[in-house]
């Protein structure tokens, strides 16, 4: 059942947003100059993915060149592309004042009747059908298109009785709050991993004295050597896109740099045929091969991954395969993860913005004996497993949120008979304000 085509349950009705909500306007008698500081919300402080609370800073009016007036508790809806399509919106319930100023690319909305709940509309506006339909009404030049205020005001919204609106919002809020808990656990585990890598790769596990090397301080017994001393690099390749027989019906996994992202690769977006493999520079790399992104947009260059399957890669990736047993691949994976910034800076010559096989082969790494390498890799792998558990929980909860958002907004699932204490939301909001 599509949301915008659904028949409202008994007691519900379809209204336009303007029937129950209004766009907040600055009162005529209000003078910003009368206030020492005013909460200011720039666009990058408006959350995404269902997060509610906006971030803000307290600024003097002389520090604010322009902006949109809003009031405490308002929905702050981004109207410009691509922020709108990305679901960028927040609730201004946590600002320490009765009003604030936001980016000029924000539409502030608030209930205009006692029968409408701001948080209910906040979640309704996150529904993919709503976003898609409103995005279709954008106006303006390419790259600077905006959703007109009148389009938002004229857009339909289902209106259940107020107590049911509050319960619907409470259910979605509880799911979102649990998602945020998982995100905090993921962030904490990632911080732990960064701290652990720094400790392990500078002090080791044996408590031995340290020595200074060209790549920094390492334990005294460790060896420092270029990658080429213990491994070989194998470049990838791309079969001709003009040859259908190289791609159609392909069964050979083909890795792109975007898939090299600190992970175990067990599947690929694209596959090539055996004919494409035989007639290109692509090479089949065995399971367990360490991959490194040689170039790519943004932060891609320098990232690593491990093949969990036999696969080929494009020419922007390189495979690293040990030539002896001195360096264990999983240890090297974590060492290069730790060395990301140094590896990227290695390619920052006057004309060289990408890595290449020669640069990577000459990259210096530090390593202990195999037993200590295994122990270090095991510690970091345990942290990665913890991160993975929380990421899977987050993904499951996000899918639950999407399903419940649709079912609750269409009335397929009703909550009017459930005993839901909506005061928990207000207690949490008050806590957010105190902690801001």
Quick check: 411 and 159 in contact, CB under 8 A? no
Q: How confident is the model at residue 344 (pLDDT cuts 50, 70, 90)?
A: confident
Q: Is the pLDDT of residue 347 over 80?
A: no
pTM greater than 0.85 (yes/no): yes
Which residue would you say has higher pLDDT here, 200 or 434? Answer: 200
Looking at residue 29, the DSSP 8-state letter turns out to be T
What's the confidence (pLDDT) of residue 157?
97
Question: What value does the CA radius of gyration of the chain take, rounded to a whole number of Å?
Answer: 27
Quick check: 183 and 394 in contact, CB under 8 A? yes
What's the confidence (pLDDT) of residue 142?
79
What rounded mean pLDDT belongs to the chain? 93
Cis peptide before 407 (omega within 30 of 0): no
pLDDT, tens digit (0-9, with 9 covering 90-100), for 160-206:
999 999 999 999 999 999 999 999 999 999 999 999 999 999 999 99
pLDDT, tens digit (0-9, with 9 covering 90-100), for 272-295:
999 999 999 999 999 999 999 998
3-state secondary structure of 307: strand
What's the confidence (pLDDT) of residue 350?
46
Q: How confident is the model at residue 141 (pLDDT cuts 50, 70, 90)?
A: confident
Q: How confident is the model at residue 298 (pLDDT cuts 50, 70, 90)?
A: confident
- Structural domains in the chain, CATH included, are 1-157 (3.90.220.20), 160-211+370-436 (1.10.287.1120), 223-367 (3.90.220.20)
Quick check: 56 and 40 in contact, CB under 8 A? yes
Q: How confident is the model at residue 63 (pLDDT cuts 50, 70, 90)?
A: very high
Q: Is the pLDDT of residue 432 over 70?
A: no
**In this structure, what token pair is assigned to residue 395?**
């993904």
Instruction: Give me the count of residues in the chain.
Output: 436
pLDDT, tens digit (0-9, with 9 covering 90-100), for 234-275:
999 999 999 999 999 999 999 999 999 999 999 999 999 999
What's the confidence (pLDDT) of residue 82?
94
Residue 326, C-beta contacts closer than 8 angstroms, at least 6 positions apart: 223, 230, 367, 370
- Cα–Cα distance for residue pair 72/42, rounded to 1 Å: 16
- Cα–Cα distance for residue pair 390/23, rounded to 1 Å: 39
What's the confidence (pLDDT) of residue 115?
92
- Cα–Cα distance for residue pair 264/193, rounded to 1 Å: 17
Q: How confident is the model at residue 49 (pLDDT cuts 50, 70, 90)?
A: confident
- Cα–Cα distance for residue pair 368/150, rounded to 1 Å: 66
What percent of the chain shows pLDDT beyond 90? 87
Tell me which long-range contacts 259-263 makes (C-beta under 8 A, separation of at least 24): 259/305, 260/291, 260/292, 260/293, 260/300, 260/303, 260/304, 260/305, 260/317, 261/303, 261/305, 262/303, 262/304, 262/305, 262/337, 263/305, 263/306
Q: Is the pLDDT of residue 134 over 70?
A: yes
What's the confidence (pLDDT) of residue 73?
96
């Amino acid at each position: 059942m599509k949301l915008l085509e659904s028949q409202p349950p008994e007691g519900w009705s379809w209204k336009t947003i303007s029937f129950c909500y209004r766009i907040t306007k600055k009162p005529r008698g209000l003078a910003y100059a009368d206030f020492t500081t005013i909460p200011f919300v720039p666009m990058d402080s408006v959350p995404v993915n269902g997060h509610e609370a906006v971030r803000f800073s307290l600024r003097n009016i002389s520090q604010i060149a322009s902006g949109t007036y809003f009031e405490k508790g308002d929905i702050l809806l981004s109207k410009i592309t691509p922020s709108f399509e990305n679901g960028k919106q927040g609730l201004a319930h946590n600002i320490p004042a009765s009003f604030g100023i936001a980016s000029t690319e924000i539409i502030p909305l608030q209930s205009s009747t006692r029968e409408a709940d701001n948080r209910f509309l906040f979640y309704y506006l996150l529904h993919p059908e709503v976003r898609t339909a409103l995005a279709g009404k954008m106006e303006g030049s390419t790259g600077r298109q905006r959703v007109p205020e009148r389009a938002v005001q004229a857009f339909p919204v289902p209106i259940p009785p107020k107590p049911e609106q509050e319960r619907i919002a409470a259910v979605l809020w509880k799911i979102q709050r649990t998602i945020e808990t998982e995100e905090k656990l993921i962030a904490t585990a990632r911080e732990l991993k960064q701290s652990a890598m720094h400790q392990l790769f500078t002090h080791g596990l044996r408590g031995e004295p340290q020595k200074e090397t060209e790549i920094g301080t390492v334990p005294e017994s460790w060896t420092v050597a270029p990658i080429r001393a213990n491994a070989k690099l194998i470049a990838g390749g791309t079969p001709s896109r003009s040859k259908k027989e190289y791609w159609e019906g392909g069964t050979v996994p083909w890795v792109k740099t975007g898939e090299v992202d600190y992970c175990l690769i067990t599947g690929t977006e694209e596959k090539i045929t055996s004919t494409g493999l035989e007639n290109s520079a692509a090479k089949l790399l065995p399971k367990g091969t360490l991959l490194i992104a040689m170039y790519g947009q943004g932060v891609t260059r320098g990232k690593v991954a491990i093949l969990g399957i036999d696969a080929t890669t494009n020419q922007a990736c390189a495979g690293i395969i040990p030539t002896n047993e001195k360096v264990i691949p999983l240890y090297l994976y974590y060492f290069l993860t730790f060395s990301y910034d140094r590896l990227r800076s290695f390619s920052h010559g006057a004309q060289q913005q990408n890595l290449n096989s020669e640069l990577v082969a000459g990259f210096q790494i530090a390593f202990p004996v195999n037993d200590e390498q295994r122990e270090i890799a095991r510690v970091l792998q345990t942290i990665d497993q913890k991160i993975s558990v929380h990421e899977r929980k987050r993904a499951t909860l996000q899918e639950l949120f999407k399903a419940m958002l649709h079912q609750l907004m269409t009335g397929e699932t009703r909550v009017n008979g459930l005993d839901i204490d909506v005061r928990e939301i207000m207690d949490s909001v008050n806590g957010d304000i105190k902690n801001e």
